[in-house]
Amino acid sequence: MTNTQSAAAGSSSEAPANTKSDDGATRRRSVFAGLITRPETGGILSALAVFLFFAVLAGKSGFLSPLGTAYWLDTAADLGIMAIPIAMLMIAGEFDLSVGSMVGAASIIVGICTGYFGLDPWIGVGFAFLAAVAVGLLNGFLVVRTKLPSFIVTLSTMFMVTGGALGISIGITGSSSISAVATGSANFVFAAKWYEFNIALVHWIIIAGVAIWVMQRTPFGNWIYATGGSLDTARLAGVPTNRVKMILFLCTSIGAAFVGVMETYTFQNASVTLGAQYVFSGIAACVIGGLLLTGGYGSLLGTVFGAMTYGIVSMGVFFLGWNSELTDLFIGLLLLLAVLANARLRQFAMGR
Amino acid sequence: MTRALRSLTTALGALALAAALGGLATVPAMAQDAKIKIAFVSGPLYDSFFPPLYQGANDAAKDLNVDLNYIPIDEHDIEASSARTMQAAIAQHPDAIVVGSFISTVVDPLIKQAVAAGIPVYVNQSGRATWKSTGAFGFVGQDPLDVGIIAAERLQGGGAKNILCVINVPGNPYLQSICEALGGRAKELGIASENLELPTADSTDLNKVTRNIGAYLQSHPTIDGVFTENALVGVAATAAVETVQLTGKVAVGTMEVSAVALEQIESGKMLFLINEQPYLDGYYGVLFAYHYAKYGIAPVGEVATGPSVVDAANIHKIKGVFEQYANVIGSK
C-alpha cells in the first residue's frame, strides 16, 4: 500500500493508471494521493478554506453579496495577472523584485502622457510598455551576464526604476501623483467594468489560460521547468536557458506594466508608488499556490488559486468588522496558515 | 605621471584643508555676506502632500538667494530614516535646519543635538506638541488636533451621526492623533465615530482602498460620514460611497488637495477638504530660518498655516489658483 502510494506520488499526473490493484480502497486512496500531490491542490484547498471561513463569519455582512464577490475577484485579478509571469520566472529559478516599482513607473508614464500632456491614452500605454521592455531586458541581461543572484540584481533595479520614475515625474510635472483619464477604446480595454466586476477578470482568465497552455503543451514550457530544475543539466540537454530567462524577465516586467496601466485608468490617477505591495503579494500568491522558492516545481493553476486566496483574505477582513488595527496581523496569519497547510499536505501525500 | 598625480593630490588636500580651516574660523563673521545654507528635512516627494511644501521651500530659497538642501525621509522606514536624515543635516553643519518632526521621539533628541552643536533649528509642519522642549526657535505648521476638531464639526454640519475616520498610513502618530481629536470632538457633539486603519500592503493601491472602504461601509451601515487623511483616499471614499449606493447619505471630507477632490467639491460629491497649505510650510520654513540665521530674528512661538477649509464657499477661487499655479494649492 505504501509502495503504491509513493509510486502514485512519484508520477502524479498518471496516478490512477499506475495503480494495477483491484482493491477498491487502494484505488480510491491512490486517486486521492494523485490529486493531493498535484502542485495546485494546496492552492485550491487554501482558497476554498478561506472562502468558507469568510462565508461563515462575514457572509451576512456582505462578503457573499454581488459587491463582496466582485471586490475579492477584482483584487485577485489584479494580483493574478501580476503573479502568472512571476510564477513562470520562479519556476525557472529566478526572482523579480522590480515588478512593484514597474507598476508605479508604468502608472506615472501614463499619467505624464495622458494627464499632463493630454495625449491620446494609447500613447501613454505605448511608452509604459516600452519602459517595461527596457527594464525587463536590463534585468534579464544583468542576471544572465553577471550570474549574480536575481534577488540582488532586481532589488537594485527596483530602486532604480522607482527613483528614475520619481525623478522624471517631478522633473516634468513637479508632482508624483497625476490624474489620468482614459477615453474610448483604451478606457474599455483597461478600465471597463460590469457592475463592479472589472475587465481585469477577463484579462486574467485569458493570460492564465495562455500561460497554462504554454507551460503544459509547448517545448518552451518544458524549458522553463528544466531551467529551474537543474540549470546545468538543462544547458547540456540543449535548452537555451539564457534566452528562457530573458523572455521571462520581459514577461514579468510587461505584466507589471499592464497592471499599472489598468489600475491607473481604473482609478483615474497615476502615482509613482502604485503597486509597491506586489513585490510581496505576488510572491505570496505563487507560494500559496504551491510553488517552491527553489524553482523547478509548481503549477500556474495553483498560482491562480493562490491569488484568489490572497484576494479573499485581504478583502474578507473588511467584512468581518473586527478591530481594523489587527487587519495586517490577520492577513499575515491566514497566509502563513495557507502556506503551512500546503507544505504539510505535500509531506503527507508523499507518505512522510 | 604618478609623482605628478601625487603632488596634485597633496596640493588639493592642502587647499581643502585651508578652505576648511578658513571656513571654520570665519563662520560668524561670514554670516552677513555668504549665502545662507539651510538644510530642510521633510517628507518624500512620492507622497503627494510634499511636492507643494518642496515647491514653497524652493521658491523661498530662490527669492532669498538661499543655498537650500532638501533631505527627504522615507515614509516606509519612517523611524530609522527620520534619524538618518537629521544626522545627515547636522553633519553638513548648515546655518540653520528646518525639520518636520514626524516621529518626535526620534527627531527631538537630534534637534537638541543640533542646537547643542550651535545650529539653530526650526520645526516645520509636524511636531507642534513637543517643539518647545527641544530648544528649537519656533514652529510653523498646523495643530493636528484642530484638523480633527474641524472635521468632526463640518461632518456633523453635513448631517453625519457616525463618522468613520480612515488612517491610510498605519502607525503614523500624526494621522492617528487627528482621528483621535475627531473622535473626541464627535463625543462632545453627541455623535459617534470609529477608526479604520488601512493595511500597509494596500496603502498605495487606490482601487483596493476603494474596495476596502466600500466593504467597510457595507458591513457597517450606520456610518454616514467619512473623513480621510489623504486626498486620493478621499476620492477612493467618494467612489466607495457611490458603489455601495449611499450617495447623498454618506458625507465625505478629506485632508489634502487634489484635482479630483476639488472637482468633487465643486460638483457636491465631496463636502469639504482641509488644506494644511504645505506651500506655506515650506516657504515660511525657509524664510524664518533665513531671517533667524542672518539677523537673529523670527516670529515668536507658533505660526499656523492651517487648517484652512475648502468647501462650496471658496472653491472657485482655490480651484482657479490650483489650475493656474503648479504646486501652490496642491499637487496636480
Instruction: Express each pLDDT in A121-130 by its tens digit.
Output: 999 999 999 9
Helices and strands (DSSP H and E) totals, chain B: 11, 12
Q: Is there a contact between B219 and A321 if contact means CB atoms under 8 Å apart?
A: yes
Per-residue pLDDT tens over the stretch A84-117:
999 999 999 999 999 999 999 999 999 999 989 9
Average pLDDT score over residue span B133-157: 94
Q: Which residues of A touch B202 (CB under 8 A)?
A: 277, 314
For residues A289-307, average pLDDT:
90
Mean pLDDT of chain A: 86
Dihedral sign of CA atoms A65, A67, A70, A72 in order: negative
* Residue B330, pLDDT score: 84
**Out of A178, A273, A314, whose CB is closest to B332?**
A178
pLDDT value for A13: 38
Nearest CA in chain A to B176: A325
Grid coordinates of B323: 489650475
Mean confidence (pLDDT) of chain B: 88
pLDDT-derived band of residue B314, with 50, 70 and 90 as boundaries? very high
CB contact under 8 A, B332 and A277: no
B211–A74 C-beta distance less than 8 A: yes
Predicted TM-score of the model (pTM): 0.77
Interface residues of chain B, partner chain A, Cβ below 8 Å: 45-48, 51, 55, 76, 170, 195-208, 210-212, 214-216, 218-220, 232, 235-236, 239, 243-244, 258-260, 326-327, 331-332
- Predicted confidence (pLDDT) at residue B101 exceeds the cutoff of 80: yes
A49, with CB counted inside 10 A (0-12, 13-18, 19+), is: middle
On the question of pLDDT at B304 being above 60, the answer is yes
- Cβ-based neighbours of B39, under 8 Å, separated by 6 or more: B69, B71, B88, B89, B92, B94, B96, B97, B98
Do A280 and B48 count as a contact with CB atoms less than 8 A apart? no
Which residues of chain B neighbour A175 with C-beta distances below 8 Å? 48, 51, 326-327, 331-332
B2 pLDDT band, cuts 50/70/90, is: very low
pLDDT band at B322, cuts 50/70/90? very high
Q: How many Å lie between the alpha carbon of A83 and the closest alpha carbon of chain B?
A: 16
**B290 alpha carbon, distance to own chain's centre:** 20
Cα nearest neighbour of B325 on chain A:
A174
- Main-chain dihedrals φ then ψ at residue B226, nearest 5 degrees: -130, 135
Write out the H or E segment, with its range, that includes residue B7.
helix B2-30
Q: Report the alpha-carbon angle A337-A339-A345, nearest 5.
A: 95
Of B204, B219, B260, the CB nearest to A273: B204
Partner-chain contact B235 A269, CB within 8 Å: yes
3-state secondary structure of B221: coil
pLDDT at A282 exceeding the cut of 80: yes
Burial environment of residue A6 by CB neighbours within 10 A (0 to 12, 13 to 18, 19 or more): middle
Q: Give pLDDT, residue A349.
A: 66
Query: When comparing pLDDT for A5 and A225, which is higher?
Result: A225
Contacts of B205 (CB under 8 A, 6+ apart): A78, A263, A274, A275, A277
- Shortest distance between the Cα of A227 and any Cα of chain B, in A, equals 32
Mean pLDDT on A304-332? 84
Q: What is the SS3 assignment for B5?
A: helix
pLDDT-derived band at A33 (thresholds 50, 70, 90) equals low
Please report residues of A whose CB lies closer than 8 A to that of B260. 179, 268-269
Q: What is the mean pLDDT of residues B121-150?
A: 93
Question: Would you say residue A168 has pLDDT above 90?
Answer: yes
Tell me: the pLDDT tens digits for B35-59?
999 999 999 988 878 989 999 999 9
B196 chain-A contacts, CB cut-off 8 A: 324
Residue A32, pLDDT score: 67
Is residue A298 within 8 Å of A63, Cβ to Cβ?
A: no
- Determine whether the interchain pair A320/B202 forms a contact, defined as Cβ–Cβ distance below 8 Å: no
Q: Which of B164, B106, B99 minimizes the C-alpha distance to B126?
A: B99
Tell me: cis bond preceding B307? Omega within 30 of 0 counts. yes
More confident position, B14 or B50: B50
> Quick one: average pLDDT of A141-167?
94
Residue B21, pLDDT above cutoff 50: no
Q: Give the mean pLDDT of A290-301.
A: 88
Give the pLDDT band of residue B245 (cuts 50, 70, 90): confident
**Record: contact A166-B46, CB cut-off 8 A:** yes
Q: Which residue of A has its CA nearest to B207?
A: A267
In whole angstroms, give the CA distance from residue A162 to residue A177. 13
Residues A89 and A248: beta-carbon distance below 8 Å: yes
* Better pLDDT: B77 or A71: A71
- Of A17-26, A201-210, B235-244, B254-263, where does mean pLDDT reach its minimum? A17-26
For chains A and B, CB pairs below 8 A equal 137
CB contact (8 A) between residue A314 and residue B244: no
Q: Using CB atoms, pick whichever of B45, B200, B207 lies closest to residue A328.
A: B200
Q: Which residues of B93-122 are buried (b: 16+ CB within 10 A; e: fewer)?
A: bbbbbbbbbbbbebbbebbebbbeeebbbb
Q: What is the pLDDT, as a whole number, of residue B22?
A: 45
Contact A212, A52 (CB under 8 A): no
Contact B207/A267, CB-based, under 8 Å?
A: yes
Within 8 A of A318 by CB-CB distance, chain B residues are 211-212, 215-216, 219
pLDDT of residue B274: 95
The answer to whether B205 contacts A166, with C-beta atoms less than 8 Å apart, is no
Contact A196, A70 (CB under 8 A): yes
Q: A68 and B218 in contact by Cβ < 8 A?
A: yes
| Nearest CB partner across the interface for A67, out of B170, B207, B218 | B218
**Summary count for chain A: helices (H), strands (E):** 16, 4
* Residue A84 distance to chain B (closest CA, Å): 19
* Chain A residues touching B203 at Cβ < 8 A: 277
User: Is pLDDT at A26 greater than 80 in this prediction?
Assistant: no
- Mean predicted confidence (pLDDT) in B178-195: 96
Nearest alpha-carbon partner for B27 in B134, B150, B120:
B120
pLDDT tops 60 at residue B13: no
* Chain B closest-CA separation from residue A35 CA (Å): 33
Q: If you average pLDDT over residues B297-324, what whole number do you get?
A: 94
b/e string for A128-143 if b means 16 or more Cβ within 10 A?
bbebbeebbebbbebb
Question: Nearest-CA residue of chain B relative to A59?
Answer: B219
Statement: residue A351 has pLDDT above 80: no
Higher pLDDT, B159 or B79: B159
pLDDT of the residue at B87: 94
